Structure 1
Amino acid sequence: MERKNLLVSVGSRSQNVHFFVASCLLAVVSWYTTEQGMGLYLPSWLSLFSSIGVQSALVFVAWRIGVTKSKRGVLIVVLTITAAVSVSFSYVNLYTWFSARERPAQVQRQLYDTIHAATDKTEQLVTAAISEGQKHVLALEDMASAEKKHGHMSEGMDADPYLAVIREAVGREAQALGSANRGRGEGVNYLAFTRYTRLARQSVDRMTEAERSLTAFRAQTKPFEASDKQLRDFRQVYDAVPWNDVEQALHTQRFEKPALPNFGDFVDHAASGQEDLLLAFKDLFERPTGRHVFAFTLATFLDLIVSLLAYAAGPVLFGNSEKRWFAAGATLDALDSQIFVRDFLRKLMPDPRGVARV
């Protein structure tokens, strides 16, 4: 019974060849994805040799771990490093394949929403500034009329900061020209108030034109336009807004303009393979989606299965079939002195199934 079990075990060791073949096939797949991922970042010849070296190290180190009993710690460290490199570039390649069509549309929609949010805030500020500017125009017209009839309008106080500044400016201008030009009538003060009224009206006209441009921009934008076009059109409208007029009309203590979207956050088409690599890992850690997780899981699965199969097939590479048969024959000789298997096997060769043949 022991002899039968021993022969069966010796023959079953040849079954590890199947693990060896499977690990080689999957290693080719993993090598291809790694090479394609490296090709996005490195020259073609360098990515070819680097990927072959990384994948060979991954497979042979896993095979070595399966048979050796010493220095396994060093081998495990080497296996971990090579697996990390292989998984990283395989993930980048798979992610680039999966997101070739989906990611641009997704990024463009996100940019569209961001731009519309900034447009809404800008339009609200401009509308509020126009309302305040119209009030300022009416107030300045009244001041000019009152200055013409009664005079001394520059000497009064005003609760509105914008109008208060104008009163002070008119008063300083009158003082500079002397008291002879002060008083009612079409004097210096009246002309100054009239001039500031025209300036305020021009400011309102500029803000009204900017509001119309924002409305037209909102109607023309589309969510599937290229990111650079969306940003370029929005920047053109955004820069046309008279922000100084808006800030003066609102006269708030802390005036904040809407922030412009950063193009680096909404890149729909990478300019190079290096940028593909950076975007893949940036999205994985900052905005992970099912596509990122699936690509990373598949890349990890390939190298994990390759390592496990190579680990299981490790004994196949150490010692040919004849040596294993001789070792088995020596074991049988030790069990029964009447059996001379070892001498007989020197004349035989094992077939692929582990059975001896002359």
Structure 2
Amino acid sequence: MSSTEILQIKNYIGLTGDKPIRFIASDVDGTLVNDEKAIPEDAIEAIRAARESGIRVAIASGRAWNEMNDVIGKLPCLRYFMCTNGAYVMDKDENRSLFHVNFDKEQALYLLRKLLTYGVYVEAYVKDQIFGMYPPSRCITPERLSACASECKAPNKKGSNSLMDNHLPSSMNHPQLGVPDEHLPGETHDRYALAESDEAAKATMSECEVEQSNFFFRPNIRPFILATRTMVCDLLAHMESLAEGPEKIQIFYGDEPMRQRILQDLRDEYQGLSHDGTGRERFYDVLLSSEGNLEFVLPHTTKGTAVEALAKHWGFSPDEVMTLGDSENDLSMLRFAGAGVAMGNAKPNIKEAARYETTDNNHHGVAKAIYSAIAHNDELNKTK
């Protein structure tokens, strides 16, 4: 799918300014990965070249920490990951959280109750796990729910529960069970049901689960979703049982009329402000995405705030930062950086917010932007 153009260190995007780029933060989906969800070799080489030239490179994504397996596998040199739109920042090398902020638990439960009434797939991001639930109203009967509960309690029942128990739950991450308390997301364990393809996933899914996954998840992301979610029978009850609220709540809506209905009901002109039109404190914003999903996030915890915090920690000004993105959840970091770069596949409002534009995610977009930063820095060094 990707173009075969041979790249070189060159200022493809017309980068200007009197300060070098010292820090690059890249989105993942629609940016670093192509439409096949693979990281192109040219992007890998460009990131290596940037690091060798002294530029720091980090990930800023809406993905959870446990969804970074493919990025870590291809780019083990990367250390910092701003996950869940900046709400969970990880230092991979030290395997520790640098920053973590989450919804108030009661407010999150209130929002979950609202979302569950729409009959859509709903999920909650909790640190390094994502708990998901299909809507019972679509095809899962009360009898099926009872069966799900039985399956969750009988994890060794062959072929009955790999989707409902496709990850090690946190309660099983215990030394007495032979599983370390801490592990990187790239590590796998025997009980992970990694869906290498649709057929592999379908082999251990019920007919209803196949129908639901086909309806809610687009083909290019379906295997990835099935491999990285922990499905629960009752998401609301599960979240009630946890000590704290999630960092993000997300839905996959299935069709455009449902998306429009939810946006009309739950999104308004007060997006991003601390209070709505009646003076009530806002506790979430709704972000649009290109993968058939809507993200419900904390209003003032964004990729932009996370990128800004890391830049300040290292002593970099906004003019020394480049950010790469394609979606609405990238707007904050595109606006923060002196070199905000929109992908060629981004929508017009995203491109308008960015200062520069590169080619799309199937045609060297990330690599061209990064090589532009290296070329720009080299040019500045020549004039010293």
TM-score band (shorter)? under 0.3
Normalised to the residue count of structure 1, the TM-score between the two structures is 0.22
Normalised to the residue count of structure 2, the TM-score between the two structures is 0.21
Q: Which has the higher helix share?
A: 1
Q: Which has the higher strand share?
A: 2
